[in-house]
Amino acid sequence: MSEKLIVGRKREISLLNRFIDSDEAEFVAVYGRRRVGKTYLVKGLFQKNFSFYMTGLANSDLKKQLQNFTDAFSQYFSKKATVKNWFDAFNLLRDELSKLRKTKKIIFIDELPWFDTARSDFVSALEHFWNSWASDDPTIKLIVCGSATSWMMNKLINNKGGLHNRVTHQIKLSPFTLGECEEFLKAKNFTMDRFEIAQFYMVFGGIPYYLKLLDKGESLAQNVDRLLFGEDGELRNEFHNLYHALFRNSEKYIAIVEVLAQKKKGITRNTLIKELSVESSGGVSKALDDLENCGFIRRYSPFGKKTKDELIQLVDFYTLFYFRFLAKRAKGRRNQWLQIQGKPEYNSWCGYAFEMLCLQHYPQILNALGISGIESAPCSWIYTGKDGAQFDLLIDRIDNVINICEMKFSTSPYEVTQHYLTELLEKVKLFKESSKTRKSPMLTFVTSLGLKPNSCARQIPKSITLDVLYNSPNLP
CA 254, 259, 265, 268 dihedral sign is negative
Helix residue ranges per DSSP H, 361-448: 362-369, 418-435
Instruction: Give DSSP secondary structure letters for 241-254.
Output: HHHHHH-TTHHHHH
What's the pLDDT tens digit per position in 136-188?
999 999 999 998 888 888 889 888 887 878 999 999 999 999 999 999 999 99
How confident is the model at residue 3, as a pLDDT?
A: 44
Cα separation, 437 vs 346, whole angstroms: 36
Would you list the domain boundaries of the chain? 3-172, 178-236+331-346, 239-325, 367-470
Strands 401-408 and 440-447: parallel
In three-state secondary structure terms, 434 is: helix
pLDDT of residue 294: 87
Cβ-based neighbours of 297, under 8 Å, separated by 6 or more: 257, 260, 288, 291, 312, 313, 314, 315, 316
Left if phi > 0, otherwise alpha if psi is -120 to 50, otherwise beta: which for 457?
Answer: alpha
Dihedral sign for Cα 268, 33, 111, 170, please: negative
CATH number of 3-172: 3.40.50.300
Long-range contacts from 454-458, C-beta under 8 angstroms, 24+ separation: 454/415, 454/416, 456/416, 456/417, 456/418, 456/420, 456/421, 457/415, 457/416
Q: What is the pTM (predicted TM-score) of this model? A: 0.90
| Fold adopted by 239-325 | Arc Repressor Mutant, subunit A (1.10.10)
Name the residue type at position 148: A
Q: What is the C-alpha to C-alpha distance for residues 387 and 83, in angstroms, rounded to an integer?
A: 70
Q: Which pLDDT does position 476 carry in this prediction?
A: 40
State the alpha helices, DSSP H only, in 231-361: 238-246, 250-261, 269-276, 282-293, 317-321, 336-340, 344-360
State the pLDDT at residue 281: 73
With contact defined as beta carbons under 8 Å apart, do 137 and 25 qualify? Answer: yes
Q: In what order do the strands lie in the sheet with 140-146?
A: 50-55, 105-110, 140-146, 26-31, 169-172
CA 102 to chain CA mean position, Å: 36
**What was the pLDDT predicted at 2?**
40
pLDDT at 218: 95
Helix axes 282-293, 269-276, angle to 10 degrees: 110
| pLDDT attached to residue 474 | 63
| CATH code, residues 367-470 | 3.40.1350.10
pLDDT tens-digit series, residues 387-424: 788 998 999 999 999 999 999 999 999 999 999 999 99
Angle value at C-alpha 112, between 145 and 168, nearest 5 degrees: 55
| pLDDT less than 70: residues of the chain | 1-5, 280, 330-333, 474-476
Residue type, 185: L
Q: What are the residues whose beta carbons fall under 8 Å from the beta carbon of 161, sequence distance 6 or more?
A: 123, 127
Using CB atoms within 10 Å of the CB of residue 301, give its burial: 0 to 12 exposed, 13 to 18 middle, 19+ buried: middle
Strands 169-172 and 140-146, bridge-based pairing: unpaired
Closest CA to 406 of 443, 439, 432, 381: 443
Residue 207: its H or E element: none
